[in-house]
Amino acid sequence: MWTFTLLIFFIMIVIGVISGLTPIYGRLSTPFGVGVNGKHSFIEERKKKFAFWNIVVSLLLGLPLFAFPFLEGTEAVDMWASIYAVFAMFGFMIFTFILYVKFRKDVLEWRETLPTEQQTSKKKVVVDMNYHQKLTTRSNFTFFIWQFVIILITIALSLLFYERIPAEIPINYDYNFEVNHTIEKSLWGVLALPTLQILMIPVFIYSNHAIIQSKQKLSPLDPKGASEMSRRFRKAWSNFLFYTTILTQLLISGLTLFSLFGKPQLNWMFAAVIILYLFIILGGAIYLTFKYGQAGEKLLEGDQYYVDPEEDEKWLLGMIYYNKEDPSLFVEKRFGVGTTINMGNRKAWLFVFGLILFVVISLVWTHLLV
């Protein structure tokens, strides 16, 4: 139970830190999703308050988790710990969204008090025609072939040593990483996780495609510098996604082989691997966010703010982009780091449908095993 408690508490704090620092390391010219010219003390104070309250609330929501280890042995303590963890994370998401809406409203009202010439910016669009030719990222084929090889080896080992697999295959572990549910040995059960891995291949490939193809947003204050930093930003995140993909597939393959051939005495070892995996993935994401900011703006010298040529009305709450006149499917976020989709593009709904279908198939597949 202590392992579970510390793990969930760590995740809560990381979520709080990442959420809190989002306005600081997101797009400089669109704090809380509002287009603003230049740097202002009013906005910087709101960013600091947003970070402070996100971190404090995540800490307060995480502290009650430490009560559960002392209740270990009582009836259904595992279930209640799990329920609290889910509600704590859900409650935090609601809190941070409400706080975001409040500060966004504050910035909008503050912007109305500025002189007219400071409220809007000149609609200047800068495009690097050779942007994608100079862009060096991991190819989609590289994403596919590495995942395919990992899954193929996992399936081959499982089938080759099928006779050595025990009659009961563990499929679930409790908070002490001890087996609490098994299924009878079958080809269906042996290939369950590899099948989910196969379904994950297009998800990772499409995520990389979004990084590569998202629409350029270059600062007109320093177009050449912005273009170079943007390419470095996308290259770094493409590489990070590639390594995340490989580690994730290796982790699932390891879980598959461990459940088939592992010894119960070594459960702690696999638990340590999972924790190390989370540290690497979360640590890497935080590092890249701090180093690059959105589109590499942190690498630019001075206050090289990007002047957004799009109207605020195209962004619902500054987070959801809807523009039928824009043929782009992927665009860089206004709030946060990374890309989002243009919901005004019909292809976006196919993308959303695909993700929903993946989740549904995964849940159904898991249910059929039980």
How many whole angstroms separate alpha carbon 56 and alpha carbon 218?
A: 35
Tell me the pTM.
0.84
- Please tell me the distance from the alpha carbon of residue 240 to that of residue 263, in angstroms, as a whole number: 33
- SS3 (DSSP) at 221: coil
Is 107:32 a contact under the CB 8 Å cutoff? yes
Closest of 23, 31, 37, 21 to residue 219, by C-alpha: 37
Residue 302: what pLDDT? 60
Segments in the chain below pLDDT 50: none
Q: Specify which residues 340 forms β-bridges with.
A: 331
3-state secondary structure of 179: strand
Contacts of 229 (CB under 8 A, 6+ apart): 292, 295, 296, 297, 299, 300
For residues 41, 47, 51 and 57, what is the CA-based torsion angle, rounded to 10 degrees?
100
